Structures are given as C-alpha cells and as structure tokens.
Amino acid sequence: DGGITQSPKYLFRKEGQNVTLSCEQNLNHDAMYWYRQDPGQGLRLIYYSQIVNDFQKGDIAEGYSVSREKKESFPLTVTSAQKNPTAFYLCASSIRGRGEQFFGPGTRLTVL
Amino acid sequence: AQSVTQPDIHITVSEGASLELRCNYSYGATPYLFWYVQSPGQGLQLLLKYFSGDTLVQGIKGFEAEFKRSQSSFNLRKPSVHWSDAAEYFCAVGATNNAGNMLTFGGGTRLMVKP
C-alpha cells in the first residue's frame, strides 16, 4: 500500500524541549513538504524539499528545522525557539513538477 | 504571488440539498487548481483537480468544480449532500517554477449538514 505515514499521531512536549516529527513516504515522490495548521486557519508552509540533501524555507520556517537524507524521509524538528508550537502538522509529497500533493494523516503537537 | 480566497468560513446545508463552495484565486498565468477535503483530525484528501482542458471537472464522492477564468473562480458543487460530507474543504492554487510545484491554500470552508 503506497502512502505517507506520520508518527506519532499525538505528541506532548514540555516547554524548552526540541521534538522531531516523522514523515515517511513510499510513493517514490521527489518532493516533500511540511505544513502547519492552526484551528480555523488554512495550511502554512514550513519547509519543502525537491530532492535529497536539499530543502528550502517556506513562509514560517523560524523555530523549525528539517533534513532530507533519504528520498523517503523528511523529518521535522520543532525547536525550543518556536514560540507557539502547539498545532496540527501535516506532511505531504508530490511528483516533481506540476501535480497534486498527497498528504499524511498529521501529527498533533501540544506543548504543556 | 498567488493567493486563494474562500469567502465562506462556515456553511450549513440540509441533507439532500445542493451545495456550492466558493473559491477565488489570484494568479498571473493559467493556474493549476485543486479542492481538498479534511475530516476532523485527519489529513487532506484530494477531491479533484484542474490542469487544462475541459473547464468542468469531475471528482470523487460526486463532487464537481468549474473553472471560470473570467471570474478567477473555481467553485465546488455537489447536487445532493450526504451527512458524511460534513468536513472542511480547502481550495488551492498551484504554481510550477524552478522550486517545483507549490500550493497556496485558502482558509477553508467548514461544511455542516443538517439531518
């Protein structure tokens, strides 16, 4: 079954801690994306990567970091520098070039 | 830069009634347009897409959308709504550039269905 998996589904973090969200895809897509979604709002792009070992900042990259060491994986680290990290995080992937993005089920991060 | 506006934050319709969700976009060239649906606590599922050709596109779950270039719109329609259609709907416009295919999303429309 091809698709995108995100883990964990729910994540709790204490203030001042870094936390890493996992995103894996077996669709053989070159491009991967991370979005943040807050209640009642649309999706805002955090980071994206078009190829392995390369990634670009999106609209709200401050306080986040990513890596792209493998085509299948694009983990997102929420650092302690992110002032308001409680949100729903969505990972997506796509074929490079024009085309729709396919989304994972999301991770809900809550800072305690 | 492209942008998407979904004027209706909430819409309530009765089960069996018709539905139209509005989407207006701003983009300098011919856009790629998408509608996604999101159930609470879930990811986004693609309903339909427009790249070129026939301006009336059919999607899954009985949805369709019409691209109107003169109005910069891509409204989503369904002739008869089912209770399971209650969800949040997002319109998105895509651009292809050297950075790849980027999507810009509207703020979403939450659909509630009355029995």
CATH number of the domain residue B38 falls in: 2.60.40.10
Domain ranges, residue B66: 3-114
pLDDT(B30) > 80: no
Number of domains in chain B: 1
Highest mean pLDDT (candidates A99-108, B71-80, B90-99): B71-80
Nearest CA to A35 among A59, A10, A15, A5? Answer: A59
Query: What percent helix, strand, coil does chain A show, rounded to 5?
Result: 0, 50, 50
More confident residue, B88 or B31: B88
Enter the tokens of residue A53: 């070992």
A-chain residue closest to B93, CA distance: A100
Residues of B in contact with A98 (CB under 8 A): 32, 51, 94, 96, 101
CB pairs under 8 A between A and B: 61
pLDDT of residue A41: 78
More confident residue, A48 or A97: A48
Q: Using a CB–CB cutoff of 8 Å, tell me whether B36 touches chain A.
A: yes
pLDDT(A36) > 90: yes
Distances (CA, A) of B75 to A31, A76, B45, B72: 28, 34, 17, 10
Mean pLDDT of A23-49: 93
Backbone angles phi, psi at B69, to 5 degrees: -65, -40
Rg of chain B over Cα atoms, rounded to whole angstroms, equals 14
CB A110 within 8 A of CB A11: yes
Residue B25 confidence class, pLDDT cut points 50, 70, 90? very high
Do the chains contact at B106 and A45, CB–CB below 8 Å? no
Return the residue matching tokens 């998105």: B92
pLDDT of residue B95: 75
pLDDT of residue B99: 54
CB A32 within 8 A of CB A49: yes
pLDDT of residue A98: 64
Distance CA B102, CA B85 (A): 27
What is the DSSP secondary structure assignment for residue B82, as one 8-state letter?
-
